[in-house]
């Protein structure tokens, strides 16, 4: 049988995943193969995760080739820096909103890190994402501006696009620190077909560690992550996002009632198909341990067999297709198809046609 670390390992994300899941397999790699592994992990935005997994075994870590260990150690330092910065930004936000009585829910990376979840291990979050009630947006925006943040400049069309159609305000960048806060009032664009009620999400939110804020409830945490991956259409970080779904299932799945409530909760939010996709592909591609009855129940939320077969092919290509020349045609084809699908889901056809025409005209100027 082929040793892990042979040629296939250098171009296969399944091989990278095998080491992320079972770091001891890295012992089989020869020194010259580490370059390919590190390059692939960096391209997939999981270099910090790889470093954390390997460093957890002190004997394995000390046995790594010097150059690989130096690169991985640098990646860990970068993760520590960004995570400290994110937590400091959360503290600054709490001070800025103090006394306003605005309920705030941390999303994605900030939620994982703030509550010490496994999905935060080795993860670098570029921005601080928060969810607030739409009725409090003006209050939050004024508080941010008064405390050093400013909305990033947009042309009139983009400003209108954010304010009228999107689920978030234009990004706010701090004038001194350069850090960015994304203020959401929904988890999907207002023009999207599914319209999960923000109030329903916020009512089920739970305390997020010692941040002073809340995070989405356990089921909602997974549903949101799955929706973000399978509705958004941005597949540059798709592998990392699928690993994130795996981490959430591994940590939250054993908690009492998680799987009993998950699909019913997703259905109540109008997001059952995305949750079903999350369960299906984390199980099929990464081997996540999902109970067979749950997978069977999820099947009723998935599309008809011909469409599902196409989706299986697209997701496998876009998420697990290696970022190397030999894998590019399949990868790019799959990503483009899913990108077009995401735009179709994002807004009605007439609005989409107008939006794409305006964006094309602006690029051509």
Predicted confidence (pLDDT) per residue in 214-244, tens digit: 999 999 999 999 999 998 767 778 899 999 9
Please state which of the ranges 106-115, 153-162, 258-267, 319-328 shows the lowest mean pLDDT. Answer: 319-328
List the alpha helices (DSSP H) in 102-237.
108-114, 137-146, 156-160, 198-203, 218-232
Residue 66: pLDDT above 60? yes
**Rounded to whole angstroms, how far apart are CA atoms 165 and 343?**
13
pLDDT of 353 over the 50 cut: yes
Return the sign of the alpha-carbon dihedral for residues 284, 328, 69, 80.
Answer: negative
Query: For the residues 306-311, what does the mean pLDDT come to?
Result: 91
**Range in 79-93, 111-125, 162-176, 334-348 the model is least confident about:** 334-348
**This model's pTM is above 0.75:** yes
**Is it the case that residue 127 has pLDDT exceeding 50?**
yes
Whole-number pLDDT of residue 3: 41
The pLDDT of residue 55 is above 60: yes
Going by C-beta distance under 8 Å and a sequence separation of 6 or more, which residues neighbour residue 102? 132, 133, 136, 139, 140
Whole-number mean pLDDT of the chain?
A: 88
Question: How much is the pLDDT for 232?
Answer: 79
Beta carbons of 302 and 273 less than 8 angstroms apart: yes
pLDDT at 347: 63
Residue 158 pLDDT grade (very low, low, confident, very high; cuts 50, 70, 90)? confident
Kindly indicate the confidence band of residue 287, based on its pLDDT and cuts at 50, 70 and 90. Answer: very high
Give the distance from CA 236 to its chain's centroid: 10
Cα–Cα distance, 245 to 266 (Å, whole number): 15
Hey, what's the torsion of the CAs at 322, 250, 78, 213, to 10 degrees? 130
With cut-offs at 50, 70 and 90, classify the pLDDT of residue 328.
low
Tell me: pLDDT of 184 over 90: yes
pLDDT of residue 298: 98
């Amino acid at each position: 049988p082929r040793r892990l670390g042979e040629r296939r390992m250098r171009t296969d994300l399944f091989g990278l995943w095998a080491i992320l899941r079972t770091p001891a397999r890295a012992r089989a790699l020869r020194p010259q193969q580490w370059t390919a592994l590190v390059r692939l992990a960096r391209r997939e935005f999981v270099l910090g995760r790889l470093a954390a997994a390997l460093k957890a075994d002190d004997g394995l870590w000390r046995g790594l080739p010097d150059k690989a260990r130096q690169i991985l150690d640098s990646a860990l330092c970068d993760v520590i820096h960004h995570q400290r910065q994110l937590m400091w930004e959360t503290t600054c936000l709490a001070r800025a909103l103090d006394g306003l009585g605005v309920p705030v829910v941390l999303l994605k990376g900030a939620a994982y890190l703030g509550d010490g979840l496994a999905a935060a291990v080795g993860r670098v979050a570029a921005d601080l994402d928060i969810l607030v009630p739409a009725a409090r947006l003006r209050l939050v925006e004024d508080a941010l501006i008064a405390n050093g943040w400013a909305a990033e400049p947009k042309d009139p069309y983009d400003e209108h696009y954010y304010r009228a159609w999107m689920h978030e305000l234009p990004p706010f960048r701090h004038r001194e620190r350069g850090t960015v806060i994304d203020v959401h009032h929904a988890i999907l664009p207002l023009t999207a077909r599914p319209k999960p009620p923000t109030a329903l999400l916020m009512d089920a939110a739970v305390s997020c560690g010692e941040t002073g804020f809340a995070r989405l409830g356990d089921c909602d945490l997974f549903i949101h992550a799955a929706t973000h991956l399978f509705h958004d259409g941005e597949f540059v970080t798709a592998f990392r996002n699928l690993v994130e779904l795996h981490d959430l299932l591994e940590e939250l799945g054993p908690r009492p009632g998680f799987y009993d409530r998950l699909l019913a909760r997703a259905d109540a939010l109008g997001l059952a198909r995305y949750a079903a996709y999350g369960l299906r592909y984390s199980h099929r591609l990464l081997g996540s341990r999902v109970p067979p009855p749950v997978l069977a129940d999820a099947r009723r939320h998935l599309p008809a067999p011909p469409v599902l077969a196409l989706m299986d092919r697209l997701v496998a290509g876009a998420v697990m297709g290696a970022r190397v020349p030999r894998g590019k045609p399949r990868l790019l084809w799959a990503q483009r198809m899913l990108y077009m699908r995401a735009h179709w889901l994002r807004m009605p056809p007439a609005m989409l046609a107008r939006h794409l025409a305006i964006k094309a005209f602006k690029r051509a100027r």
